[in-house]
A and B are shown apart, each in its own frame.
Chain A
Amino acid sequence: MKNKNIKFVQGNEACVEGALYAGLDFFAGYPITPSTEIAELLSYRLPQKGGKFIQMEDEIASMCTIIGASLTGSKVMTATSGPGFSLMQEALGYAIMAEIPCVIVNVQRGGPSTGIPTHVSQGDVNQARWGTHGDHAIVTITASNHQDVFETTVDAFNISETYRTPVILLYDEVVGHMRERLLMPEQGELPLVERLRTSVREGVDYHPYLPREDGRLPMSDFGGVHRYNVTGLFHDMWGFPSDNPKIVHGLLRHLVDKIQNNVNQIARFKEYFLEDAECILISYGSSARSANHVVASRRPRGERLGLLELQTLWPFPYDLVREKCANAKYVVVVEMNMGQIMQEVRKAVDRPEKVFLANRIDGVFITPTNIRDILRLIQGKGV
C-alpha cells in the first residue's frame, strides 16, 4: 500500500516541504551549491499555490528582496551557502534592526572563501552568530535528518513570526544532498504561528515598534491603513530615526533581550542516554548522525555514552548544557569545524578541562570510526 505522505527526498527538498507547509509565500534567491535545489524546487512549487519566486541578481539582492516582501505581509525565505551567506550579512542586520520576520537557509559547505562547494563542513556556526556587525542576537537552528529538517523549518517560521526576527536554518551539504525518507504531516498536525497584526484601527496612532505586555510586536502590512517608517537607523517606537541615548540603549537591549530572555522557549534539542552517561557526546547537524551511531553501537557493550543533539545553536543553551553535563566525566563535541560549538560548551560546563573536540575538517564526512578513534585517544587508550 502506497502512503502518499511518504517521500524519498533530499534534505533540501525536506526543507522546501517544511517551508510550504508553514505557509511560505515568497522566495528570492540565487543559485549556489549545495543549496540550489531549494531555489529550483520553489521556482516550480510556489507559483502552483499562488506564491512568488524570483531569482535575483545576487545574494545581497535576494536578502533585501525578501525583507521588502515580508513587509507587505508575506512569509518569506531565501537559501544559500557560505559565500552567499557572507554577502547577505548586511541586509540580515537590517532585518534584525527593523524586526522583520524572515527565514534564511544556509546549507554549509567547505570554507572559507570558495572552499569546496560540493563537500560538507559546519564552519559557519560563528558566522551565523556574529556575521553581521554590531551587538545583536540571532536565532539559528539546525537538524541532522530529514524529518527534523522539515520540522525545524516549520519551527523557524513560527519563531520568526513570534519574535519578529530573522531565523537562520543552518543545515549542511550532507543533510542537504543525501536522500532519506520523509513522512509529511497532515495540515494541522504541526502548529503554525501566523503573523500578529495590529488591531489598532485606521486613524489611530500605530506604533510599529512598541511591544505589547507579552513582548510581542504587532505588525501592519505595507499597503494597509497604517503608514509608518522602517529604517536600519536606531529609531523610536514610530520607526523614525533617533540618536537619543535613552532610545538607542532601550532599542538595543530590546533587540537582544527578546531573544536571550527566551532561550528556553527557543531551545530545541534531543537527548539519548544522558542520565547515567560517563562520556557525553554533543553534536548537531549531520555530525550528530555519526555521533548517534557511536552511542547506539557502544551502549550495548556497556560503555556509558550519551548524546546531546543540539538543534538550536543560537541562542546557545548554556544552562541546558551545564545541567545535562554536570555528572559526566568527559564531554566530547563532535563537529566538522575547528571547535566552534566546543568553545561554547567549554563556557557552559562546570569544568572546561573535561570538554574535548572530536572533529574533521577535510571536507570528508566525519564517520563513527573517526569519533571512536578520538574517544579512545581522549580516554588514553590509544587507537
Chain B
Amino acid sequence: MAIKDFLRERFFPHIWCPGCGHGIVLNSLLRAIEKLGMSKNEIVVVSGIGCSSRISGYVDFHTLHTIHGRALAFATGVKMSLPELNVIVPMGDGDALSIGGNHFIHAARRNIDLTAIVMNNRIYGMTGGQYSPLSGYGTLATTAPYTNIDYAFDTVELAAAAGASFVARSTTYHVQQLTKILRQAILHEGFSVVEVLSQCPTYFGIQNRAGSAVDMMEYFKNNTIPIGSKAKKENPDLIERGVFVEKEMPEYCSEYDKIIERAMKGRT
C-alpha cells in the first residue's frame, strides 16, 4: 500500500480500539494526501488532545500534538508564519467544538487556509466516555447517567455561519466520498471544515446500545443521505452528506501579505 509511506510504522498497531472510526479517517486522509502528490516536508498536522488527536503521532509529516481545544490556534501560528506549508488540523468533537469552540469560529471567520477535520464520535473517548456538545439529547454517557439534556451543534451550520469557505460532511462508512472530500478540503484555499461521523464502539456504542463498530457504520449508511436527496422530506432526521459550502473568499495569509506590501511601501 503506497500510503504506508506516510505512516510512522514503528508505532503500529495503533492504540485505537478495534473498530474505532478514527483509524478509518486516518486511512481516508492518507489516500487523499497521496492523490495530491505533495512532499511530506510540506505538510504539518496539528492536533489537540483526545483519541482523535492521537492521529498526528502516526503520520510521517511535521506533527504538532498540542493542548485540548487549541490546535487551531497553534495551527494559525504555523500557517501564518510560513504560509507555503499545508496545515491539516484533525480534532475530536469535544476538542474542536467544546473547549475549542472559540478558536473554531474565529479561524473560520478569518478564513485562514487550514483544513479542520472534526472527527465526530459524539463522545469524549480518551477519558472514558463523557458526553460532548455533539452527543445529543437523550444519549447516555458517564456524566449523563440520567440521559443527556444538551442538544447538539450542527457542525456544518456552525462552520458556515462562522464564515468557513469550505464545509463538508461524510462518514467512516462512506470512505470513497470521504477521501474525495478531504482532498477537496485540503486543496481549497481558505478555511475548510470536514465533519466526519465516526464510531466509538467502546464508549458511545456500549453506553447507548448502538451495537458493534459494524452496527454503527450500518447506522451511518442507513441514516445519512446525499445533500438534496428527496428522502429528507419524508424523514427529516436523516443527516446530509456532501459539500455544503464551497466559495472563493479572500484568504487570511494572502490578505496579510498585501498588508506587508503596503506597510513596506509606506516607509519609503
Contacts and interface: CB of A to CB of B under 8 A. Distances in A.
Touch between chains A and B, by CB atoms below 8 Å: yes
Interface of A: 25-26, 28, 44, 47-50, 52, 54, 56-58, 60-62, 64-74, 76, 90-91, 94, 221-225, 227-233, 240-241
**Secondary structure of the B side of the interface?**
helix
B50 to A, nearest CB: 13
Contact of B264 (A48, A62, A64, A90): A48
Given A26-B77, A56-B76, A225 B41 contact: yes
Interface residues of B, number: 40
Contacts of A91: 67, 70
B62 A68 contact: no
Nearest to A28: B77
Given A94-B66, A231-B65, A68 B102 contact: no
Contact of B82 (A50, A56, A223): A223
Given A52-B81, A66-B77, A68-B73, 7 more contacts: A26-B77, A50-B260, A64-B67, A68-B79, A227-B60, A231-B65, A232-B66
A61 B67 CA distance: 11
A66 B73 CA distance: 9
Nearest to A229: B63
A221 B41 CA distance: 10
Contact of A61 (B42, B73, B259): B73
B263 A68 contact: no
Given A47-B263, A52-B80, A65 B60 contact: no
Contact of A222 (B44, B57, B60): B44
A50 B64 CA distance: 26
Contacts of A62: 73
B85 interface: yes
A69 B112 CA distance: 14
Nearest to A220: B62
Interface in B222-268: 256, 259-260, 262-264, 266-267
A339 B266 CA distance: 49
B188 interface: no
A223 B44 contact: yes
B65 A71 contact: no
A223 B73 CA distance: 18
A47 B259 contact: yes
A71 B41 CA distance: 14
Contact of A47 (B11, B60, B74, B260): B260
Contact of A72 (B85, B259, B260): B85
Contacts of B79: 68
A69 B80 CA distance: 7
Contacts of A57: 102-103, 106
A57 B110 CA distance: 11
